[in-house]
Amino acid sequence: MSTPAAAPREAPTPTTPPLVAYLLGLGDDALILAQRLGEWITRAPQIEEDIALGNIALDLLGQARVLLTRAGEVEGAGRDEDALAYLRDEREFRNVCLVEIPNGDFAVTMARQLVFSAYQYELWTALRHSGEPVLADLAAKALKEVAYHRDHATQWVLRLGDGTDEGHRRMQAGLDRVWPYVDELFTPDDAAAQLPGEAADPAALRARWTAYVEDVIARATLTVPTPTWHSRGGRAGLHTEHLGHLLPQMQHLHRAHPGARW
Amino acid sequence: MQVDDTPTQERLQARFDRMVADEVRIEPRDWMPEGYRRTLIRQIAQHAHSEIIGMQPEGNWITRAPSLRRKAILMAKVQDEAGHGLYLYSAAETLGVDREELLDLLHSGKQKYSSIFNYPTLTWADMGAIGWLVDGAAIMNQVPLCRCSYGPYGRAMVRICKEESFHQRQGFEILHTLSHGTPAQKAMAQDAVDRFWWPSLMMFGPPDSASTHSERSMAWGIKRFSNDELRQRFVDMTVPQAEALGLTLPDPDLRWDEESGHYAFGEIDWSELDRVIRGDGPCNAQRIERRRTAHEEGAWVRESAAAYARKHAATSSAAGETAA
C-alpha cells in the first residue's frame, strides 16, 4: 500500500475544529482570488473588463467576509474578518493553490476563472442544503453571483479560443497553465470529511464540473490539457511560493499599525 | 406668399440660440454650431479621460487597503469611475466621434485629463484626501453640468453626481477615522491633506482673468459659473469640514472675511499647474504609460473577440437563411 503523496502534513494548528478549517478554506479561496483579480483593475484589455473583473472581485470579497467572520465566531477566540485576513501567515492560509497563481495574461486569468467559477457553481449548489445556516444562506446568494462569473469566463474562453489564431494559441496556453491546479479542488479534505451535514464533499462536485467545462473547451475548439504534475496541499497550508509575495502586499499596512481602526 | 429667404445657416443658428436661451435641451439630432460640437467633444472627452486615468491613483491601493471593508469600498469606487468613463464616452459618441478615436487621442497626449491625477498616492490617507478634496472639487464643478444645454451630457452628469457625492462622503469618513485614530494615523491624514489641498484648488482651472474658453461656454449654456466662483464655493464648503476633521489646511493666509462673507485664501502657484499640464508632473508619464500598456497588451483580446463575433454572426445568418 502506498500513502498518496497528496496527504501533506497538517498546518501548524492541528487543533483547528473542522468547521473552522472548512470555513477558512472556502473563505481564503474567495479572498485570495479577489486579491488577484483586484490587481487587474486599470490593466484590463478594455474598460468593460476593468468593471467586470472588479465586480467579480467584489463578489468574492463579499463571500470571503461572510466566511471569515463566521469562522472567527465558531472559533470563539475573538478573531474577526480582519484579524483572520491580515494577521495570519502563509502556513495558516487554507486556500487551494489555484487562486494564488499569478494572473499571467488575460487568457490565463480567464482559464483560472472558468475553472474556479465552475467549481464554485457546483460547490454553492451543494451547500444550499448545508446544516450550517451561514453557509446555506451564503450559498443561495453566492450561487447567483457565481452563475454570472461562470458565464463571463465561458464567453471569454469561447471568444479567445474560437477567435483569432493568437487568441486560440494563448487560450490553450492559459488552460495548460492552470490545469495542474485542477485536481486539488476535488481532493478529499479532512475538514469536509468530518462535516457530512455541513460541508460539500469535494470529490462529489467533479462530474458536473467536468461536463460543464469540457463542453466549453470543445465549443471553443480547444483541448482539455493532460498535466504531468498536480498541485496539492493548499488546504493544509502548503502553498506555492507566490502566496508569500501576495500576503505581504495585502497585509503590510494593517500590520504596521497594530490595534489601529481603519 | 411670404418666402423666408434668410440663409438656412442663419435660421438654424437663430433656432439654436433661442433653444439655449429658453433652456431647451439640445439633442444629438438638433443642428448645432460646429464650435459648440467641438467644445463639447473636447470637454466630455477630457472628463471621460479623467475618470479613466483617475482610476489609477486609487487603484494603487486596492491590493493594500487596511481592512476588508475598506478594500470592498475602494474597489466599488474605482469601478464606479470606470462606469462614469463609459457613460461619458457614450455621451461624446452622440456628437459623432467614437471611443476608440478618443482613446487614441488620450494615449498620444493630444487630449488631456485632469492634472490632479498626475500626483502620486503615497499613503492610505491619500484615499481619504482624494475622496474628500478631489471628489469634492469635482462635484462643485459637475453639479452645474447637470443643467448643461447638451442633453446627453447633462443626463450623464445627473447619475455621475449622485455617485460622486457618495465618494466624497467615504473620503471624509476615511479621514475622520484616521484623524481620530492613533497619532501615526492622524499624521498620515494631515500629510495627505497638505499634499492635496493646493492641487485641488487648481482643479477649477486658471483664474477667470486667464481662462480661455470660459466666456463662450457660458454663452452656450455649457458652463454656468466661472472658475473663481466655483473655487470660492469649494473653499467655503471645505474649511468648516476640515475643522470637523480636526485637520488644518496648509494656507497661512486662510481666514474668514466678514466683509465678503467668504473665506479668503492665499495665492495659488499657477506656475505649478502650468508645469503639470505641460507634462512635468510626478506621474504624467507613468499614468499614460499604464493606460497605453493596458490598451496595447489587450489588443489581441479585443481582436479575437471581434473575430469571434464576425464568425458567429456569419454562422447565425447562414443558419437563418437555411431556416428561411
Whether A198 shows a pLDDT value over 60: the answer reads yes
3-class DSSP state for residue B256? strand
Which residues of B, range 47-86, sit inside 8 Å of A by Cβ?
52, 55-56, 59, 62-72, 75-76, 78-79, 82-83, 85-86
pLDDT at B7: 75
pLDDT at B4: 61
Q: What is the pLDDT of residues A166-184, one digit of tens each?
A: 999 999 999 999 999 999 9
Q: How far is CA A87 from CA A81, A145, A257, B46, in A?
A: 10, 28, 12, 43
Q: What is the pTM of this model?
A: 0.94
pLDDT at B213: 74
The three-state (H, E, C) secondary structure of B126-143, written as one string: HHHHHHHHHHHHHHHHHH
Q: What is the pLDDT of residues A213-224, one digit of tens each?
A: 999 999 999 999
pLDDT at A15: 79
Please report, for chain A, the start and end positions of each structural domain, with discontinuous segments joined by +.
18-256
Candidates A36, A47, A105, partner chain B, best to mutate (most B CBs within 10 A): A47
Whether A106 shows a pLDDT value over 50: the answer reads yes
Interface touch A167/B55, C-beta < 8 Å: no
Q: How confident is the model at residue B35 (pLDDT cuts 50, 70, 90)?
A: very high
Interface touch B72/A55, C-beta < 8 Å: no
Chain B hits for A36, CB-CB cut-off 8 Å, are: none
Whether B241 shows a pLDDT value over 60: the answer reads yes
Pairing assessment for the beta strands B262-264 and B255-257 based on DSSP bridges: antiparallel
Type of residue at A231 = S
DSSP character for B258? T
Q: Please tell me the distance in Å from B221's CA to the nearest CA on chain A.
A: 30
Whether A83 shows a pLDDT value over 50: the answer reads yes
The x, y and z cell numbers of residue B199, run together, are 492641487
Q: Could you name the CATH architecture of A18-256?
A: Up-down Bundle (1.20)
Separation of alpha carbons B167 and B65, rounded Å:
16
Separation of alpha carbons B180 and B247, rounded Å:
10
Interface touch A57/B75, C-beta < 8 Å: yes
3-class DSSP state for residue B14? helix
Cβ(B46)–Cβ(B111) below 8 Å:
yes
pLDDT at B5: 62
ipTM of the complex: 0.95
Average pLDDT of every residue of chain B? 94
